[in-house]
Chains A and B, each alone.
Chain A
Amino acid sequence: MSKRRMNLSLPEDVAEYLDNVENASAYVAEAVRRARRSERSRAMLARHGIQVTDAGVKAAGEKLRAAEDRRHRAEQERGQAAA
């Protein structure tokens, strides 16, 4: 994949953070790709008649993580019972 050098102006806090990232270019590229992926997905949901909110996405994440935590605990308990 071809690459292009760019000069960017960034807020001080972002620049400081990137100073400590091993490969800042790759980090920024991945962050931009993720953001674009999310924008495309949100646009598709809107086309499909589904309006999502940031608060709803956050709540969905918390619900999923809570379910995964319950599963993790149950697996640990089963493991201990089997030992």
Chain B
Amino acid sequence: MSIRLILDTSALLTYVAADTRAMDVGELLLTVQENGDTTGVPALCLIEAYQQIPESVQAKLMELVGDDDGLAILLPVLAADVAAIAHLALQLTQPPAHAVTETRKHHAMLGTYHRKIYADTLAAEDILDL
């Protein structure tokens, strides 16, 4: 099972909003899973999103990545990736730096509502506008 899609903080915030845009994110997660692949959630993006949402929906975010056989898996900060994330975090904040590192490592698409943030660190074609 390969990681085909990475979701950044903006995508996670939309997911928990449970509005019409959340439907788009949910359908994207499902199509990835139903094709036998999976979606990765960088831990630093999850933490950032968690800090910005009401307590009442925090459990949703944790449940999204809480099952290894579920819709998305949590991607930890590995020791081998710390240097790359630290270097990118000179330009970006840490959560998008982690998202870029995972996108490159897995040769995945990055799903985001904030393409501009990544303009200097990812090729335009690596970004999927949500």
B5 at the interface (CB under 8 A from A): yes
B47 at the interface (CB under 8 A from A): no
CB of B18 within 8 A of CB of A41, answer no
A56 at the interface (CB under 8 A from B): yes
Q: Interface code B15-37, partner A: CB below 8 Å = 1, 0 otherwise?
A: 11010001111111111111110
If the complex has contacts A37-B69, A49-B22, A64-B5, are A58 and B31 also in contact, measured as CB distance less than 8 A? yes
If the complex has contacts A50-B18, A71-B123, A74-B123, are A45 and B26 also in contact, measured as CB distance less than 8 A? yes
Give Cα distance in the complex from A63 to B25, angstroms: 12
Give Cα distance in the complex from A64 to B35, angstroms: 11
Give Cα distance in the complex from A42 to B64, angstroms: 12
Instruction: Provide the residues of chain B in CB contact with A67, threshold 8 Å.
Output: 109, 125, 128
Chain A CB within 10 Å — which of B16, B24, B26 has the most?
B26
If the complex has contacts A44-B71, A64-B128, are A50 and B33 also in contact, measured as CB distance less than 8 A? no
Instruction: Provide the residues of chain B in CB contact with A38, threshold 8 Å.
Output: 30, 33-34
CB of B33 within 8 A of CB of A48, answer no
Closest chain-A Cβ to B47's Cβ sits at a distance in Å of 19
CB of B125 within 8 A of CB of A50, answer no
A52 at the interface (CB under 8 A from B): yes
CB of B30 within 8 A of CB of A52, answer yes
Chain B, range 50-94, C-beta contacts under 8 Å to A: 60, 63-64, 67, 69-71
Chain A minimum-CB-distance residue to B16? A48
If the complex has contacts A41-B30, A58-B31, A60-B31, are A50 and B22 also in contact, measured as CB distance less than 8 A? yes
If the complex has contacts A57-B27, A60-B31, A67-B109, are A41 and B125 also in contact, measured as CB distance less than 8 A? no
CB of A60 within 8 A of CB of B27, answer yes
A51 at the interface (CB under 8 A from B): yes
What are 7 pairs between A and B in contact, CB < 8 Å? A50-B26, A51-B23, A60-B30, A60-B31, A61-B35, A63-B28, A67-B125
